[in-house]
Amino acid sequence: MQITITARHFDLTNAIRDRVESSCEKLSKYFDQIIHINMILSLVKNRNVVEMTLHASHFNLQSEAEENDMYLSVDNAIDRMEAQLKKLKEKVTNHQKRAIKDNPIYAYANMFERKKTADRRRMVKTKRVMAETMSVHEALDKFENIKKEYLIFRNFETDRINVLVKKDDLHYKLIEP
């Protein structure tokens, strides 16, 4: 991430430069695809104005703050940019989850309950699980570390979805379609 700091109508001190750089580094925890940050610090009629432009992959964000103190205006601009980045990350994450669910690697587990009066089935619960590709031995090793009663995975040898079910402490059941 590259940070460019421009000072207009005043001399930029090392303390302000350090404050801006440390504040901008905090933004990478919200969105790791930040390419460039451009900060313009200016002094206009005894008011400190900070204009911030952030360039990320496929996105450009801007924030602006105006205060009596330069440190305060830098903090306000960073806070506004944090809010925009959180919103952007949530939007991108939701979009990616929707794309993952349409992926054929996704395994669908449905539980059905038969009504006593009619022959129709009613869906009770649908769970979408990302099936990891692994061998049966790797699945057994991973299954010992988790507390669920089942593990859905894609068998490396057969390239099919398998389910490993825990019967008791020593016995497991492997379901292969």
Span 85-89, average pLDDT: 87
Confidence check: pLDDT of 105 > 80: no
Predicted confidence at residue 92, as pLDDT, reads 77
Residues 7 and 85 in one domain: yes
Provide the H-helix boundaries in 11-149: 14-26, 70-101, 136-145
Domain span including residue 84? 2-101
- For the stretch 8-60, pLDDT in tens is 999 999 999 999 999 999 898 887 888 899 999 999 988 999 999 999 888 89
CATH number at residue 40: 3.30.160.100
**Nearest one of 42, 94, 39, 98 to 66, comparing CA atoms:** 42
Span 115-123, average pLDDT: 57
Q: In the listed set 101, 119, 146, which residue is the last one of a domain according to the structure?
A: 101
**Nearest one of 104, 109, 108 to 159, comparing CA atoms:** 104
Q: In the listed set 37, 70, 101, which residue is the last one of a domain according to the structure?
A: 101
Predicted confidence at residue 121, as pLDDT, reads 59
Please tell me the total count of domains within the chain. Answer: 2
Confidence check: pLDDT of 82 > 80: yes
Distance CA 134, CA 113 (A): 31
The answer to whether the predicted template modeling score (pTM) of the entire model surpasses 0.75 is: no
Sign of CA dihedral 6, 50, 75, 62: negative
Q: In the predicted model, what is the mean pLDDT of the chain? A: 83
Q: In the listed set 35, 70, 101, which residue is the last one of a domain according to the structure?
A: 101
Q: What are phi and psi of 23, to 5 degrees?
A: -70, -40
